[in-house]
Chains A and B, each alone.
Chain A
Amino acid sequence: MSVHPTSHSFKDNASRAIADGSVPRALKNVRQNFIDKRVKAVDALPEFEALRESAREIKNHTLAHLDLYLERYEQKVKDSGGHVHFAVDSAEARNIVLDICRKVGARTVTKGKSMISEEIGLNGHLEAAGIVPVETDLGEYIIQLRGETPSHIIAPAVHLTKDQIEKDFRRVHTQLDPNRDLTEKRSLLTEARTMLREKFLAADVGITGANFLIAETGSSVIVTNEGNGDLTQILPRVHIVIASIEKVVPTLEDVSQILRVLARSATGQEMSVYTTFSTGPRRATDVDGPEEYHVVLLDNGRSAMLGTEFQDMLRCIRCAACMNHCPVYHQIGGHAYGWIYPGPMGSVLTPSLIGVDKAGHLPNASTFCGRCESVCPMKIPLPKMMRHWREREFERNLNPAVARYGLGFWAFFAKKPWLYNLSTRVAAKAMKLMGRNKGRFQSLPGLGAWTQYRDFAVPEGETFQAQWKKRAGK
Chain B
Amino acid sequence: MSSRDTIFASIRRSLHVKGDERIRSTIVDERLDRSPKGVVPARAQLDSAGKLALFIEKAEGVQATVARVLSPKDVPGEVARYLRDNNLPAALRMGDDPRLSAMPWKDTALDVTTGRSNGLDLSGITHAETAVAETGTLAILSGHENPTTLNFLPDNHIVVLNASDLVADLESVWARVRKKVGKGEMPRTVNFVTGPSRSGDIEQTILLGAHGPRALHIVVVEG
Contacts and interface: CB of A to CB of B under 8 A. Distances in A.
B31 A193 contact: no
Given A257-B38, A273-B194, A279-B188, A185 B202 contact: yes
Interface in B160-207: 169-171, 174, 177, 184-207
B32 A216 contact: yes
B86 interface: no
Given A230-B212, A271-B137, A279 B186 contact: yes
B37 interface: yes
A68 B192 contact: no
Given A68-B24, A72-B28, A273 B170 contact: no
A299 B10 contact: yes
Interface stretch (B14-22, B70-78, B98-106): B14-22
Contacts of B204: 29-30, 32-34, 155, 158
A68 B19 contact: yes
A189 B210 contact: yes
B197 A273 contact: yes
Contacts of B8: 67, 70-71
A278 B189 contact: yes
Contact of A162 (B29, B190, B202): B202
Interface stretch (A203-211, A302-310, A402-410, A432-440): A302-310
A286 B171 CA distance: 26
Given A139-B201, A270-B58, A217 B42 contact: no
Interface stretch (A219-227, A344-352, A357-365, A392-400): A219-227
A186 B14 CA distance: 50
- Chain A CB within 10 Å, residue with most, of B3, B12, B204: B204
B84 interface: no
A87 interface: yes
A468 interface: no
A335 B65 CA distance: 40
B48 interface: no
Given A136-B211, A189-B199, A250 B174 contact: no
B144 A189 contact: no
A87 B32 CA distance: 26
Contact of A287 (B25, B144, B184, B192): B144
A373 interface: no
B39 A252 contact: no
Given A189-B207, A189-B210, A278 B188 contact: yes
A339 interface: no
B58 to A, nearest CB: 7
Nearest to B198: A225
Interface stretch (A2-10, A13-21, A44-52, A173-181): A44-52
Nearest to B5: A86
A228 interface: yes
B2 interface: yes
Contacts of B193: 273-274
Interface in A314-360: none
A250 to B, nearest CB: 5
- Chain A CB within 10 Å, residue with most, of B12, B17, B212: B212
B119 interface: yes
Interface of B is mostly: loop
B74 to A, nearest CB: 28
B149 A51 contact: no
B62 interface: yes
Contacts of B67: none
A94 interface: no
Interface in A21-56: 29-30, 32-34, 45-47, 50-51, 54
Interface stretch (A58-66, A379-387, A457-465): A58-66
Nearest to B200: A33
A51 to B, nearest CB: 5
B19 A274 contact: no
Given A66-B11, A306-B11, A235 B202 contact: no
Given A216-B35, A226-B197, A260-B41, A286 B142 contact: yes
A230 B198 contact: no
B95 A287 contact: yes
B192 A274 contact: yes
A58 B211 contact: no
- Chain B CB within 10 Å, residue with most, of A72, A156, A230, A257: A230
A165 B143 CA distance: 39
B148 interface: yes
Contacts of A122: none
Q: Which 4 A-B pairs have the closest CB atoms?
A: A227-B212, A226-B210, A29-B204, A306-B14
Interface of A: 29-30, 32-34, 45-47, 50-51, 54, 58, 61, 64-72, 76, 80, 86-88, 92, 136-139, 142, 155-158, 161-162, 165, 185-186, 188-190, 193, 196-197, 200-201, 215-219, 225-228, 230-231, 234-235, 245, 250-254, 256-257, 259-260, 267, 269-283, 285-289, 297, 299, 303-308
8 contacts: A65-B28, A138-B202, A189-B210, A200-B119, A227-B211, A228-B211, A269-B62, A283-B188
Interface of B: 2-4, 6-8, 10-12, 14-17, 19, 24-25, 27-29, 31-32, 35-43, 58, 62, 95, 115-117, 119, 134-137, 142-144, 147-149, 151-153, 169-171, 174, 177, 184-207, 209-213
Given A155-B201, A250-B31, A275-B137, 4 more contacts: A227-B211, A278-B189, A289-B142, A297-B7
